[in-house]
A = this chain, B = another copy of it.
Amino acid sequence: MTRIGFIGLGTMGAPMAANLLRAGHAVCGFDRSEAARRAAAARGIPVVDELARAVRGAEVAITMLPDGPDVEAVAAGPDGLFALLAPGSLLIDCSSIAPEIARRLARLGAERGIAVVDAPVSGGPGGAEAGTLGIMVGAEAEAYARAEPLLTALGRPRHMGPPGAGQATKLCNQIVVAQHLVAVAEAITLARAQALDPLSVLEVLAGGAARSWLMETFGARMAAGEANPAFRMRLMLKDLRLALEAAFAVGAPLPATALCASLMLAQAAAGEDELGHHAVVRVYERLCGQHRGQNGTERSA
């Protein structure tokens, strides 16, 4: 049994906190948003309305927040976790943020005797509920050893290297995801241009060397013009931005990722970044002078 302060009770954080509770840990949750706190309480998670109270006496703090600046503010800001946690405690950040920020937080934490672990996840709300998230962990060996038993309550943790390595691995994942979706979009575009039925083409492709999890999961939806968010384009763009910035900082050329990001940006430019990331096929439709209404109805130019 570990005493855990859990910060960030959104669509991902709430079920993760619930799983830790179920695994026998003493969890105290906090979220800035009262609605989120109420929803978490409704599923049985003890919540408080102050960050300081959430981590009072905690051995471990876990954060699940939107972006790097949020984590920096909560961890390193005035009255933040580095000030609140006792030396010797552990901070596990499950947010998806820039590797560089993860490394900086690990250094700042170390100065205060707090081990900081980056542990971004994949698998979405479904994986969070089921406790089957993929968890990519960046941590010193000792900190990883302490974090691992907790993380197994959330999914399958894997130690990728020192602080930042978890975030960097997540970015590798996301650049492949973006490219696979664009690949499906181009296959649909070529299929249509050749007067083929895109759905039949994707079925055939999914039976051979061209298959991918994303094609199998989103291919038919893309061909049908369905654009409901499973993973929002806005979040995909955030991850691509982080990946390209991280690559830029170390001089790694990723031309195909950069192109996919440009195309996905066009989704944002058209005011559609709250659609799912698989809606990138609409960018190709617009490029070809075809337009769809929000509900997917095809309209002529």
Contact = CB atoms under 8 A, between A and B. Distances in A.
A26 interface: no
Interface in A195-248: 195-197, 200-201, 204-205, 207-215, 217, 237, 241, 243-248
A287 interface: yes
B160 A172 contact: no
Contact of A255 (B134, B209, B263): B263
Interface stretch (A32-40, A73-81, A110-118, A186-194): A186-194
A172 B158 contact: no
Contact of A246 (B122, B168, B194, B210): B194
Given A172-B191, A183-B179, A286-B286, A259 B257 contact: no
A256 B175 CA distance: 13
Number of copies: 4
Interface stretch (A7-15, A61-69, A144-152, A269-277): A269-277
A9 to B, nearest CB: 24
Contact of A194 (B99, B123, B258, B271): B99
7 closest cross-chain pairs (CB), A and B: A270-B289, A251-B268, A193-B252, A212-B212, A168-B194, A179-B183, A255-B262
B136 A204 contact: yes
A183 to B, nearest CB: 4
Given A160-B196, A160-B204, A241 B248 contact: yes
Contacts of A191: 168-169, 172
B182 A251 contact: no
17 contacts: A122-B209, A134-B204, A168-B190, A168-B194, A168-B196, A169-B191, A172-B201, A176-B184, A179-B183, A183-B183, A189-B253, A189-B254, A193-B246, A193-B252, A245-B245, A253-B262, A258-B258
B177 A180 contact: no
Contacts of A106: none
Contact of A204 (B169, B258, B301): B169
